[in-house]
Amino acid sequence: MNVFYQTIKIQHEVFGTLVEESFHDSVQFKLFLKMVNGALTNKNDLSFFNGEDFMIHIPFKYLVGSIILTQIKPEVNGSLSDHYKSKIEALVTK
């Protein structure tokens, strides 16, 4: 069982890394990408607050001057043990 996570990195020449986030849920990742794309196409600031612990505000003039990179990476931490753990749990519940 391969588990992947998707990352987005927004990097500015002067300010460095503005955003570096990883998503396990592909739907959340796509929504975040659409939000970034919408800010760029509508020439708006990128503002987001999830209501709990994550808030960003990047003015358009810095967002448009940034490099935006996305990547899909395999999850390294415990993915093999999680795989065997789920197999063992499946055997125990039978």
For residue 78, the model assigns a pLDDT of 55
Distances (CA, A) of 35 to 17, 51, 57, 93: 18, 16, 12, 42
Q: From the DSSP assignment, how many helices (H) and strands (E) are in the chain?
A: 3, 5
- The average pLDDT across 67-94 equals 66
pLDDT in tens, 26-63: 899 999 999 999 999 999 999 999 888 889 999 999 99
Distances (CA, A) of 41 to 12, 18, 50: 18, 19, 22
> Whose structure tokens read 């975040």?
32
- The average pLDDT across 3-22 equals 92
